[in-house]
């Protein structure tokens, strides 16, 4: 497979949505725990808003979208340049193990370098062993553990 990696376009929504839904289902956000439709709509619109530091790439093979990567730039307290956080990475099940994930990550690396950003990072669940085999080849694991608490909003 030799996917074309390109920025998402507004008219990609209908083809992007099944990938987005698959990504969210993979991480347990489906059925009763699915993201609210307004979150999906807001996320999609942010990719095309010039005032948002958020971008989407898609992998296309034979006219079909087979993968996505979403990334954003943010400031850091430990560097002068921004950092790039790849928040989402997903490939269709039929495309897994065929170089799509690697191509998307490399495209995020390229986008960050073009923006003058030297640090790209992401996270995955500890049970995602298949993806981690790839990640261990193309990035370093710095050893940090993530803690979080979801706060109720007023």
User: What CATH number is attached to the domain comprising 12?
Assistant: 3.40.630.30
130 within some domain = yes
143 within some domain = no
Helix (H/G/I), strand (E/B), else coil: 92: coil
How many structural domains compose the chain?
A: 1
pLDDT of residue 47: 98
pLDDT of residue 30: 82
153 within some domain = no
Q: Which residues contact 43 (CB under 8 A, 6 or more apart)?
A: 20, 70
Two tokens, residue 86: 């790849």
Range of the domain at 100: 4-138
pLDDT of residue 34: 86
Helices (H) and strands (E) counted in the chain, each on its own, are 4, 5
Two tokens, residue 152: 């109720």
Q: What is the CA radius of gyration of the chain?
A: 16
DSSP E strand boundaries for 1-154? 4-7, 54-61, 64-74, 83-91, 120-121
Question: What is the helix (H) or strand (E) element at residue 140, kind and residue range?
Answer: none
152 within some domain = no
25 within some domain = yes
Tell me which residue of 135, 116, 115 sits closest to 125, measured CA to CA: 135
85 within some domain = yes
- Provide the residue-wise pLDDT of the chain in tens; the chain has 154 residues: 789 999 999 999 999 999 999 999 999 898 888 889 999 999 999 999 999 999 999 999 999 999 999 999 999 999 999 999 999 999 999 999 999 999 999 999 999 999 999 999 999 999 999 999 999 999 999 999 899 998 998 9
151 within some domain = no
97 within some domain = yes
């Amino acid at each position: 497979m030799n996917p074309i990696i390109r920025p998402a376009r507004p008219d990609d929504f209908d083809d992007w949505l099944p990938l987005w839904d698959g990504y969210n289902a993979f991480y347990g956000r489906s059925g009763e725990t699915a993201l609210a439709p307004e979150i999906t709509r807001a996320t999609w619109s942010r990719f095309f808003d010039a005032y948002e530091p958020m971008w989407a790439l898609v992998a296309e093979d034979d006219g079909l979208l087979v993968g996505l990567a979403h990334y954003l730039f943010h400031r850091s307290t430990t560097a002068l340049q921004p950092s790039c956080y790849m928040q989402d990475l997903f490939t269709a099940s039929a495309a897994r193990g065929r170089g799509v994930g690697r191509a998307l990550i490399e495209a995020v690396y390229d986008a960050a370098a073009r923006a003058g950003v030297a640090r790209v990072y992401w996270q995955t669940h500890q049970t995602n062993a298949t993806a981690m085999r790839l990640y261990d080849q193309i990035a370093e694991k710095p050893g940090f553990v993530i803690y979080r608490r979801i706060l109720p909003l007023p």
